[in-house]
Amino acid sequence: MVSVPLSKLTELRSLIDKQEQRLEQLETLLEGQSSTLSGQQSSISQLRQELATAKSSLANSKLIIDEQNSSLMSLSESIKQERRRTQRIKRQRLLWQVVAGGAVAYTVLK
């Protein structure tokens, strides 16, 4: 059997108590950090879902913009054709007015 002085035993007991307290503090800290980490992982997951939704929305918006751009180009071309047609009709009317005026002038002069 080994005999240990009481002062050493008390000192050892005090050291063990301090280590147990420190261990409890570290366990509490670890639990808090674990909880924080879980919350952050949840936030990251939610942000990823929101990012995926935003990407999908952006892709849909791009499709809509492309369709609208195509429609605008088509409309612009239609407007250009209508302007050309209107100008052609005006030129034809002017030509017929000149021809009619010449015919009237020829008839009057004859």
pLDDT tens-digit profile of 44-82?
Answer: 999 999 999 999 999 999 999 999 999 999 999 999 999
Tokens of 53: 């939704």
Supply the pLDDT for residue 5.
Answer: 86
Give the pLDDT confidence of 19-42 residue by residue, as tens digits: 999 999 999 999 999 999 999 999
For residue range 80-102, list pLDDT tens digits in order. 999 999 999 999 999 999 999 99
Residues 19 and 25: their CA atoms lie apart, in Å, by: 10
Quick one: pLDDT at residue 2? 79
Amino acid, single-letter form, for residue 90: K
Provide the 8-state DSSP code for 87: H
* High-pLDDT (> 70) share of the chain, %: 100
The whole-angstrom separation of Cα 14 and Cα 7 is 10
Dist. CA 75–CA 78, nearest whole Å: 5
Helical (H) or strand (E) element with 3 = none
Q: What local confidence, expressed as pLDDT, does residue 110 receive?
A: 79
Q: pTM of the full predicted structure? A: 0.56
**Which residue stretches of 1-110 are H helix?**
6-109
